[in-house]
Structure formats: structure tokens, C-alpha cells
Amino acid sequence: MILLQVVVSGLLMGSVYALFSSGLTLIWGMMNVVNFAHGDFVMLAMYAAFFAFTLLKLGPIFFIPGAAALLFVLGVVVYLGLVRHVAKGPMLAQILGTFGLALVLRYAAFWAFTANFVSLPDNLVGGTFDIGGLRVEASRLLAGVLALVITLSMHLVLTRTALGSRLLAVAEDRNAAMLMGIRPDRMQAIAWGIGAASTGVAGALIALFFYISPTVGESLSLIAFVVVCLGGFGSVPGALIAGLGIGVIEALSAYLIGAVYQDVVVYALFLGVLWVRPQGLLGTN
Amino acid sequence: MKQWPLVVIGFLLIAGWPLVVHDVFLQRVGALVLLAAISASAWNLLGGYAGQVSVGHAVYFGAGAYASLGVYTELGWPPIAGAPVGVLVSMGISALVGTPTFRLRGHYFSMATIAAAELFRILAANWPLLGAAVGLMGPPVPRSVADLSFISPIPYHYLFLAVLVVLLGLTWLMQRSRMGYYLAAIRGGDRAARSLGVPVLRYKLYALLLSAGFTSIAGSLYAVMVGFIDPDSALGILISVKMLIVAALGGAGTLFGPLVGAIILIPLEETTNAMFGGGGSGITFIVYGAIILLVARFQPGGVAAFWAVVTDRVSAGRRAPAVPGSSRVS
């Protein structure tokens, strides 16, 4: 029974991982550039939610979409101001560009918000549900279910709408897309916006039940990389499955061998999979 | 314009620095510049010349640092005697980690190196033999000269200078040898290099072994000088990032780039730390982040690329190609 409890909480957390990792996989699939600041975007969204609640007295119904909108703008600005330029340069420049951004965001947050952990009040989304003997906190349940719904709708937008087709066309072949009257630059800006917005929602959701600190982005970035690598680059369904899997593996290893080693298990698994299948578990090439 | 007179003048300035300035703070900054130049030059062998951007070199730095203080706490040896141990451990780790990750290209490689480094950091932080989260201490009072524990930074300055000269000498030889051309080809693109008959995996591994070995020596020297290490100061991701920033600012894949980067960044870092005290490291890394962001955005070749423009002597062949745009990896 405890094991089942652990698996369920792993699935709920994994669903949030899947959400922000889908954003990374979209960016990556679109232009073959990694956002090393992805986890720090999540961190910013967490602080945005925290300050929206403490300073502006806004509840989750407002601060979740608010964080998404804020991060969408940030994503577009980062694309236009930085990524568009470094993507044309050598690989070193691509890595340095978003890595530098990650450092600036992380340590600016450190400087502005101090290293102290903060958190939203526990009872913001109150209560604990008892489902057939399983005890699930309402905040985690809300985060998990909402993240799952948004990840799935992201997949539907990509596969079922005209916008999605345009995005995928640019990912497939930039020049051919241009000949079809699609502006690749605009599509990539939108992809960065959507990718960052996914971290906005995810960050606001994590803030409901998790502590907030300036350095939380570091391990979240790594988790996003792991999920994207396992799920295959550019695949939202892959990210969903891998995200849920990582959530469960993390929860199980924290329960079975200790919380300090949960990241070790995830990283070791990641390196192990790269060893066997460099293209990712579900990737084709 | 000949380059060697500049090199001689630069060498004399660096060698004379601790004798000219009498302020201990400035002498210490000089030694730290050389130490950063050693680790960044070591990173440069793999990250610059071979174009494999590792963000996990803290593993090798930490192996050297922990080996030095480990042989002291466990066996009572002088810390510097741990340096060869650290080199062996680093080479072991690099063979273990490098073989699978070298099949990855570009960003995948960078991410795998971060994951590997974080894995080792967490393990060290929970391993009692390595002092767990508290870390390790060197000899509190020097027992003999072999402990290399000096109050003045001057002996460290010349020790580090000697190591740096050896490292840069080896790099210079490597750059002009077959291996230098092989690495330049690999940086241009794995597939193209392989189609030219370059044994890609083998030469990446050679570059990594050399790079890891010297990074480990830098870690040992750091531990010997500072006399105290913990998981964050020896294995933290910022250690890796610092090597990368120093090398990239000066010019990745150039002989003197890392040294130039260290001369610019380390005094900056030490001054901010001195000005802002303990909270200064945060500000230091905002500045570091902003610098690499701007370098990436406007001049990915770093100072070396500026230099090439200024002196207007872009003769191919004399210098390994480090101009932006030449190392695009698909």
C-alpha cells in the first residue's frame, strides 16, 4: 500500500516534469538548440507565483495563467534577443549563450530574493483526499492533473491545428516551410514562447506544494534534459511517458534507498540509457 | 607582426609579478590567475581544440583535490603526493564516462557531462571517506617543506607558473602535430572527420585523457594551496562553468586564450569577492553569466578573435582555426 502511495505521488510529480519538459522538447525539436536555462525559467515562474500571492493577493486561478503569460513573453524576448543570433554561431556559442542566461537568472534571483527558502501557504489549495485508502494532497493532485491536461492539449495543438502544422513544418525543413509562405523566424519565436509558457504553468503548479529557492532550477534543468533524452528529441508524447517514468523512479528511489540518492539514480539511468541508445529510448534517429 | 616578442614580454611580466607588487592580496591574485589558467587550458584541450564542450570537468578537478587531501588524511602523506593518484583516478573516470558519451554530439555531450559531474558530486557529498558534506582538511601546521604549505603566495606563484609552462608547451607541440590537425577536423564535425579517415573516438579519448589529467593536477594544486575542500568548492558545477568561461572569453581553441581569459576574469572575481564579502560570489556569477552571454552573442571567438581582427594577420595554418563560424556542428 505504501508502495502504491509512492507510485501515485511519483506519477503526479512526473506529470509536472512532463509539462515543462514538453516545452524543452518543442524548442529542441524546432531548432536543435538546447535551453540550458529551462529549469531557471521554472524557478522564475515559482517566484512569480509566490509574489503574485504574497504581494498582489492573487489566487492560483490568476497566478497560473499569469505566470504562463509572463514566461511566454520572456521566451519570445530571449529568442529574439539571444537565441536567434547564437543559433547561427558555432556550437560553443549556443551552449554558452543559454548557459550564461541561466547563470544570470539564477544568481540575480539569489541576489534579489536571497538564498532563503520560501513557500506558499500549505492551505492555498487545501485539504487531503482519501481515495480508497490512498491519501493525496489536493495541491499535488491539482498540479498533476492540470499538468497532464495541458501537456496533452499541447500535443493536440501541435498535431491538430494549423499553427501546429506550421511549427512542425519549420522543424522539418526550414527552407521548404519558407517556400510554403511560413515565416520560420516567427514560428521559432512562438515555439520559444510556448516552451517558456509551459515552464510558467509548471512553475506555478510546483510552487503550490514545493519550497522555492534560487537554485532549484539547476536540478530541474537536468531533469528536463533527462526526460527529453529518454523521450526522444522533439516528441511530446515521448516526454509525457518519460516524465511520468522519471517521477515514479525518483519517488521509488527516494523511498527505497534515501532521498539524497534520488537524483543519483536518475542521472545514472540517464547515462546508462545514453550508453545503450544515444538517440533516446523512444527516439528513432 | 611576429608573435614571439609579445609572448616573451608577457612571460616576463607574469614571472616578475609577485616580485614587483608587494601587496599580499595582489600576489595572491597572481597565483590564482595562474591556477585558473591551468585548469582552463586543460579544459581547452578537449573543449577548445576538439570542440567537445564539457560542462563536467569539475569531476577531474575534484578527483585531484580529493586525492591530495585524501592521501593526507588517510595515509599521512604530503598532499602533493596525491596528485599522481588524482591523475590516475581522473583518467579512469574519463575512460568510463568518455567512452559512452563521445558517441553523443554537440549538446547531448554537454548534458551528459553535467549529469556525470552532478552524480559524482552527490556521491562525494555522502561518502564518509571523503568527508561527506563537511569536506577534507589539509595539514593545519606544515610538517615539512613537502607539505607545500606557505603563508606567502609567492612559492605557489612559481609552482603554478612551472605547471602552466609545461601544459602550454605540450599544447603547443600537440597543436603542431598530427593530433592537432585531427582535433581541428573533429571540431569541424564528427562525420566529416571520420570520412577523412580520422579515428574520431580514439582521438577524442586522447584529448579527454590529457585534459582530465591536467585538470586533476589543477585540482591538486588548489587543494594544496587552500588546504580545505568540500563537495561544492571542489566538485560543484560552478567549477566546471568557470573553466569554460575563462577559456571561452580568452578564445577557446587557442594556445593563450585561457591565460588571457584568466587575466581578465580572476582579478575581477577577487575584487568583487573582496568588496562584497561572502555575498560577493552571487554577484560574481551574475557578471560571469553576463560576460559569456555577451561573448556568445557578439563574438564567439572571444578575445582571440578580436586580437586577430586588430592585428589583421589572419593567416590560416599558423593558428588553429578559431574564427567564429568555422566549427558549426550539425
Q: Is B328 in contact with A225 (Cβ distance < 8 A)?
A: no
- In chain B, where the domains are located: 4-237
A-chain residues near B286 (CB < 8 A): 103-104, 107-108, 111
Span A236-276, pLDDT tens digits: 888 999 999 999 999 999 999 888 888 889 988 888 887 77
Q: What is the pLDDT along chain B (330 residues), one digit of tens a residue?
A: 567 888 888 888 888 888 888 888 888 999 999 999 999 999 999 999 998 888 889 999 999 999 998 888 888 788 888 889 999 999 998 888 877 777 776 677 888 888 888 888 988 888 877 777 777 877 777 777 777 777 788 888 999 999 999 999 999 999 999 999 999 998 888 888 888 888 888 999 999 999 999 999 999 999 998 888 888 888 888 899 899 989 989 888 899 999 999 999 999 888 888 887 665 567 888 888 898 898 888 888 888 887 877 776 545 445 555 545 444 443
Query: Residue A283 contacts by C-beta under 8 Å, 6 or more apart in sequence?
Result: A231, A232, A233, A235, A238, A277
SS3 B62: helix
Span B170-219, pLDDT tens digits: 999 999 999 999 999 988 888 888 888 888 889 999 999 999 999 999 99
Look-up of cell digits 577523412: B196
B-chain residues near A219 (CB < 8 A): 118
Cβ–Cβ under 8 Å, residues B72 and B142: no
**Minimal C-alpha gap between A36 and chain B (Å):** 9
Q: Is the pLDDT of residue A74 over 90?
A: yes
Q: Is A91 in contact with B289 (Cβ distance < 8 A)?
A: no
B-chain residues near A103 (CB < 8 A): 241, 285-286, 288-289, 292
Q: What is the pLDDT of residue B66?
A: 92
Span A175-188, pLDDT tens digits: 888 888 889 889 99
Q: Is A90 in contact with B104 (Cβ distance < 8 A)?
A: no
Q: Is A100 in contact with B291 (Cβ distance < 8 A)?
A: yes
Residues 38-67 of B with CB under 8 A from A: 47, 51, 53, 55
**Nearest by CB: B292 against A96, A260, A274:** A96
A61 or B142, higher pLDDT: A61
Residues 200-219 of B with CB under 8 A from A: none
Residue-averaged pLDDT of chain A: 88
Q: Is A99 in contact with B126 (Cβ distance < 8 A)?
A: no
Q: Which of B302, B301, B259 is nearest to B42 (CA)?
A: B259
pTM of the model: 0.87
**Segment holding B228, helix H or strand E:** strand B228-229
A-chain residues near B104 (CB < 8 A): 274, 278
Q: What is the pLDDT of residue A70?
A: 95
pLDDT band at A95 (very low <50, low <70, confident <90, very high): confident
Q: Is B104 in contact with A82 (Cβ distance < 8 A)?
A: no
Largest CA distance in chain B: 58
C-alpha cell at B265: 576574469
How many residues in total does chain B contain? 330
Chain A residue with minimum CA distance to B48: A92
A-chain residues near B101 (CB < 8 A): 271, 274
Interface size A-B, in CB pairs within 8 Å, comes to 150
Q: Is B115 on the interface with A (CB under 8 A)?
A: yes
Cβ–Cβ under 8 Å, residues A156 and A16: no
A-chain residues near B325 (CB < 8 A): 89-90
Q: What is the architecture of the domain spanning A2-276? A: Orthogonal Bundle (1.10)
Q: Is B292 in contact with A264 (Cβ distance < 8 A)?
A: no
Q: What is the share, in percent, of chain A residues with pLDDT greater than 70?
A: 97
Interfacial residues of A (vs B; Cβ cutoff 8 Å): 32-34, 82, 85-86, 89-97, 99-108, 110-111, 218-219, 222, 225-226, 229, 260-261, 263-264, 267-268, 270-271, 274-275, 278
B-chain residues near A92 (CB < 8 A): 47, 51, 53, 248, 252, 296, 300, 327
A-chain residues near B324 (CB < 8 A): 89-90, 93
Q: What is the pLDDT of residue B240?
A: 92
Task: Classify strands B136-137 and B228-229 as parallel, antiparallel or unpaired.
Answer: antiparallel
Q: What is the pLDDT of residue B216?
A: 95
**Minimal C-alpha gap between B302 and chain A (Å):** 10
B155-170: b (≥16 Cβ within 10 Å) or e: bbbebbbebbeebbee
Q: Is B283 in contact with A107 (Cβ distance < 8 A)?
A: yes
Residues 288-317 of B with CB under 8 A from A: 288-297, 300
**Nearest by CB: A274 against B104, B114, B296:** B104
In whole angstroms, give the CA distance from residue B148 to residue A269: 41
Q: Is B282 in contact with A107 (Cβ distance < 8 A)?
A: yes
DSSP output for A155-224:
HHHHHHSHHHHHHHHHHH-HHHHHHTT--HHHHHHHHHHHHHHHHHHHHHHHHTTS-B-TTHHHHHHHHH
Q: Is A104 in contact with B101 (Cβ distance < 8 A)?
A: no
The phi, psi pair for A134, rounded to 5°, reads: -85, 130
pLDDT band at A277 (very low <50, low <70, confident <90, very high): confident
In whole angstroms, give the CA distance from residue B19 to residue B9: 16
Q: Is B327 in contact with A96 (Cβ distance < 8 A)?
A: no
B247 or A114, higher pLDDT: B247
Q: Is A107 in contact with B123 (Cβ distance < 8 A)?
A: no
Look-up of cell digits 553576463: B290
A-chain residues near B106 (CB < 8 A): 91
In whole angstroms, give the CA distance from residue A240 to residue A225: 13
**Minimal C-alpha gap between A282 and chain B (Å):** 16
Burial tier of B198 (Cβ tally within 10 Å: 0-12, 13-18, 19+) = buried
Q: Is B107 in contact with A91 (Cβ distance < 8 A)?
A: yes
B-chain residues near A108 (CB < 8 A): 286
Average the pLDDT over A99-127 and give the result.
86
**Nearest by CB: A111 against B118, B241, B286:** B286
